[in-house]
Amino acid sequence: MVVAVFILLTAAYLAFGTERAFEPGSYKTSLAWCLTSLLLGIPAALLGGWVCARIAVSPKAVASLVVVVAILGLLVAVPTFSSPPVVEARGANVPNLEAMTKAKTPPWVALLNVVVGVGGVLIGGRRNPC
């Protein structure tokens, strides 16, 4: 899942460019970027659940992955509620890795990422899809 998210978001960032991924002059992510990142999380979570279900010995593996995704997602979301605003001015062209470390994502996006991740893993991990 991590590899899929990294590849998809890197490709999206390259397609968007700095000016569309962030609000003007800041590291606050734009609404378009927030929605795109949520949408790209869906195939990554589906893939993660599918791979887990296919390689797992126990049917409980998908449930375990759901727990891991939920816990890690919440741990990533918590700082979005308490971190101070980024006051550093953003330049016109920000490299991908710098953008990832300095981006200020709204808390609602961080929480929806948990929902998308958990839901995607559950759907992708179904052993007998209808």
Per-residue pLDDT band at 128 (split at 50, 70, 90): low
Does any domain span residue 129? no
Return the HEC string of 29-88: ECHHHHHHHHHHHHHHHHHHHHHHHHHCCCCHHHHHHHHHHHHHHHHHHHHHHHCCCCCC
pLDDT value of residue 86: 67
What pLDDT digit, counting tens, does each position of 90-108 carry? Answer: 877 888 888 888 888 999 9
The pTM of the full predicted model, rounded to 2 decimals, is 0.85
Amino acid code (one letter) for 44: A
90: left (phi over 0), alpha (psi -120 to 50) or beta: beta
Does any domain span residue 75? yes
Q: How many structural domains compose the chain?
A: 1
What pLDDT digit, counting tens, does each position of 20-65 carry? Answer: 998 988 888 999 999 999 999 999 999 999 999 999 988 799 999 9
Residue span of the structural domain in which 93 resides: 2-124
Contacting residues for 31 by C-beta, under 8 A, at least 6 apart: none
Residue 79 has pLDDT above 80, yes or no: yes
Does any domain span residue 9? yes
